[in-house]
Structure 1
Amino acid sequence: MNSSLKVKIIGLMALFMCCLVAVLSYVSVTSTLQRGEVRLREYQDMLYKQKTDNMKNLVEAISSTASLMTEDEAKQFVRNARYGIDGYFLVINTNGSVAVHIDQPLEGQSLTTIKDADNQAFLLKLLEQCKEKGEGTIQYTWLKPGSSKTEPKLSYGKIIGKWNWLVVTGVYLDDVAAAVHKEESDIQQEVWTTVQRYLLIAAFALVLIIAVAGFFLNRYITRPLTGAITKVNTYATKMDETVTTQASFSIELSSSVSEISATMEEFSSSAILISNHSQGVADSAAQTLQRTRQGVAEVEALMEKMKEIYNDNQVNIQEIVALGHKSKEVNKIMEFINNIASQTRLIAFNAALEAASAGEAGKRFGVVALEIRRLADSVMESTKEIETKSNEIVAAVSRQVVASEKNTKGIEEGMAYSERTVSIIYDIENAADQTTDAVQQIVLSIQQQQTAGEQVLTALRQIKQGTNDNTTMIQQTKTISKELANLAEELERVVEHGKKVATAD
């Protein structure tokens, strides 16, 4: 086989596989990036919502407690209230001035004079928003206590009706930025893992294609062609010998009819020998047909196994999806528990405030309320850890579903390849069947030729004219035999050249 043709076939197969892997890699990476962007936005929105809900609960708790006091007592109470590391409350009059602030020199100042690091009167904007909706949130940049640099901060405010106050509290968002950055790093790592996986698949596919293509070219083209050339050489040699013999017989027949009889007897013997060889060829063709049919049965069994694997893979995908739904249901239950704990914490906080206002009589009750609040905090932290683990399970289930869908595509492609292979083997089976029939026809024809030769022995008077015609045909056959021998030699040289190139590669 021509080495350049062999290289071109392998190169085209490798190029096709590279293009296929490149397209699949692009689609998978793009899909992963899009899902990551959506997941990042949802995660950031969830963190903001959690902080807003916490601030809302705290403002409602401090407002409900302050409403039970006189205005001066309420101002002092709000001024001294603390939570967390740096959490505090402030009160704004709806006329646009500060009523209560931990930094008392700011009390009484107009909101237009209090600006953030970006020179924005953020409290004035928050007041306008709350006048319109009764509550509101605003994000700005503020100097963080204990630090020399400003950090983004989110504040929530709500108007209470007793003194027409706007109660405000805020939280810093540096922990949100850190959490979002970590989530973004995880997404980038997933993308890089996907790229590495497809690069490994591409490398493996190229090696496999080159090996398989070389194997099939050598086994199903080079080797059969070599065998065919050997047979052609053998038949050409025999044909040349037969034609030479027939030519000699024809010359002898033109001089003596008696010698024609002897020549016809030798021709009959040669026909018997050819008939025996043809029968052997017919037997080989029948064996080839039987093996082809066995191959069809094996490939059909392989397709049945692949269908079973495909069905099992579909069942696995359904079970994985069901597991993902159950994990989401666990998240909903954890959210419900977290809400209960949050309410318990608020109740404990209010109880502590009531106990503090009750003086010595509420001291023991205040201890109990403090313990309940600690328990609620512990429950909230536990539910957050459980929710995080559950989210990790949901993410793992999603990745497993994607991997299973990729496996399903591979199985479907394998089934398609198997179906095409069955079609090819069916074609080979039909060709082998036709070959067997043709060889049987050849055997029958040779037997009929033998009978005709015996009849020729009884018609010697017609042999001379037939001998003249046969002489011309023998010359033509001899020419064809020589051309056939030359063609066989040329094919043999091409095959030998192909083998040397393959050995060198």
Structure 2
Amino acid sequence: MNSSLKVKIIGLMALFMCCLVAVLSYVSVSSTLQRGEVRLRNYQDMLYKQKTDSMKNLVEAISSTASLMPEEEAKQFVRNARYDADGYFLVINTNGNMVVHIDQNLEMQPISAIKDVNNSAFLNKLLEQCKEKGEGTVQYSWMKPGSSKPESKMSYGKVIGKWNWIVVTGDYLEDVEAAVNEEKNHIQQEVWNTIERYLLISALALLIIIAIAGFFINRYITEPLAGAITKVHNYAAKINDTVTTQASFSLELSSSVSEISATMEEFSSSGVLITNHSQGVADSAAQTLQRTRQGVAEVDALMEKMKEIYNDNQVNIQEIVALGHKSKEINKIMEFINNIASQTRLIAFNAALEAASAGEAGKRFGVVALEIRRLADSVMESTKEIETKINEIVAAVSRQVVASEKNTKGIEEGMSYSERTVSIIYDIENAADQTTDAVRQIVLSIQQQQTAGEQVLTALRQIKQGTNDNTAMIQQTKTISKELANLAEELEQVVEHGKKSAAAKQVDD
């Protein structure tokens, strides 16, 4: 415990140094790996180029010699040509057929029938390159004689324009792969050497840093901390007292806010009930106002209908009176017709007497006079019947006029009652409108009051939450003050230990 703070500081510095060394080591190793990959790739390309150049020289040498011979001799020459232990040549033409091969059974066969262990017609790829560029290379897997597994192989081909030949030779790549693997091992060994070098440097740097940190901590940290420890103790005690007072006040404030919040919640609930009831009253008042307006509209329509009935009744009375006058005029006309019929009858009677006195000569005239007399009698009877009917019509017209006058008085009284009813309903409508406005104002006031109550309640909840947060912060502050006091004790112990170490060193000196 005496040197725990010192150990922690030195440990943090050592951890920082380790992280720094680890980052530098990672960057250096990554850079070394990248350079190794580039070097390995360049080395592999160089070996492939050497292999290709060697096969190219062989193909050009055999092609230049064969082009000086006749075609058959050139075929035999290429067929028998050998180099190294198992090197040989073959010839294909631009049509895709085998022309020369050490296995003469394959000659004049399509090259697409020759495939490697991966079932790839590799000679077709070589043929396409040679047609495009005049030469080409292709890699494939082939079963090497005397080997139990396929080996990587590369073939090179070049076009000889004399017979549209493509002279091809190939070589296995095990020497290239062996050289590449060897170079890869060298690169890996260099990487491990770099890692070991950085680890050794890191260990030495860490030891140096620990020694330097211990020296500076003892000289520049331990002694200055002695005077600050007493102040830390005093500050921790004052903070503890202040925090205790604030905690008591926060508890009282939280209790008061809880009581006010409960009261405001009850007030808010009551406001909700009042708002609901007021809204119901407002709805009822609005419905009453709507129905009153409908009643006013219906009474207005009734007044219009009463006026139409009154006007129609006046028109009917006028027409009935006019009909009575016309009936009287018809009666006068019928009297005039009756007088004419009487005179005609009298004249016909006199004419019959004259005809009778005339004897046989006036007999025919007497018949005519008799017929005229009968016609006059018929006319007189008809005029009497018409006169009777007209008198009945006149009497009915008089009764209708009397009834219409009574109806007119009833209609006028009904219109008067309707006008008074309309006035009363208008007064009811105005009162209902005013009542509806008043109820709406009441509902609006209650809603505003409820909104204000909710805002107050929200503010109280925020105050309560703030009080709870303040209480938690006070508890956290108390914990920090305790930790600060403990840290001061540890620092004091470290300082005492440093002083004892310094005193013992002076005694030894």
TM-score range for the pair, normalised by the shorter chain length: 0.3 to 0.5
Q: What is the TM-score of this pair, normalised by structure 1?
A: 0.44
Q: What is the TM-score of this pair, normalised by structure 2?
A: 0.44
